[in-house]
């Protein structure tokens, strides 16, 4: 039976690709077949094979089943901007229903499909839909990546409230420390644990040189929890 997880974040640049890649490897190490999607990617570069996203390429390297680049990243946008702005600039039209149908089809080909949503929870991706609407259309439980930096309590609380208002199930959350500059990390995490009514699956501490394999091993317990 195939299962899926929609990974979103409290903001851009909070480590969604990092977490998604590590979870793909952790699930693979546990014996599961895995596929990934980054439905909408901006800031893509031109290649002989078309537009490519660095994040999507990273997910492809981490999953253990084969899929075409376009299946992993159906909407590749060249302009480095918010998805809705980039789509308008590049004259690309798409709908959340189209992406959701592609996700459902891809999910049938592996035990797990992990989807990295664009931007944050409330990021507009079309004229009428946000990242949260895309998650709702796909129907997978949501994993929230919380960027552990000043302001994260506000961002996390608002993100959780919006996900709950949409009727989305929160599978858990992972905190990611960005740069080691947060002086009150432990009390901040403790407050987040009280505010977010979902499991804290992991806290990723900042490292100057993060070892992807080491991070994947750190997320083995998280992979086991979501696999139950």
180 — alpha (psi -120 to 50), left (phi > 0) or beta? left
Q: Taking Cα atoms as reference points, which of 77, 72, 74, 73 lies closest to residue 92?
A: 77
CA distance 39 to 24: 16
Q: Are 168 and 142 in contact (CB under 8 A)?
A: yes
DSSP state of 214: H
Q: Is 16 a catalytic residue?
A: no
Please pick, among 38, 166, 194, 225, the residue that the annotation labels catalytic.
38
CA distance 74 to 227: 27
31 — alpha (psi -120 to 50), left (phi > 0) or beta? left
Residues labelled catalytic: 38
């Amino acid at each position: 039976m195939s299962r899926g997880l929609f990974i979103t974040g409290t903001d851009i640049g909070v480590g969604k690709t990092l977490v998604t890649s590590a979870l793909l490897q952790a699930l693979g190490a546990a014996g599961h077949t895995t596929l990934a999607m980054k439905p909408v990617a901006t800031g893509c570069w031109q290649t002989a094979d078309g537009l490519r996203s660095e994040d999507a390429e990273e997910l492809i390297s981490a999953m253990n089943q084969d899929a075409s680049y376009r299946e992993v990243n159906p909407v590749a946008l060249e302009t480095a901007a918010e998805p809705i702005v980039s789509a308008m600039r590049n004259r690309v039209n798409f709908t959340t229903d189209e992406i959701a149908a592609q996700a459902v089809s891809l999910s049938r080909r592996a035990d797990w499909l992990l989807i990295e949503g664009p931007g944050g929870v409330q990021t507009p991706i079309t004229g009428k839909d946000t990242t949260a609407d895309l998650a709702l259309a796909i129907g997978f439980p949501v994993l929230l990546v919380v960027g552990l930096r000043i302001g994260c309590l506000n961002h996390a609380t608002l993100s959780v409230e919006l996900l709950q208002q949409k009727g989305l199930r929160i599978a858990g959350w992972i905190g990611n420390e960005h740069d080691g500059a947060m002086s009150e990390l432990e009390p901040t995490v403790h407050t987040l644990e009280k505010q977010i009514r979902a499991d804290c699956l992991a806290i990723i501490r900042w490292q100057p040189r993060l070892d992807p394999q080491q991070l994947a091993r750190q997320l083995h317990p998280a992979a086991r929890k979501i696999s139950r």
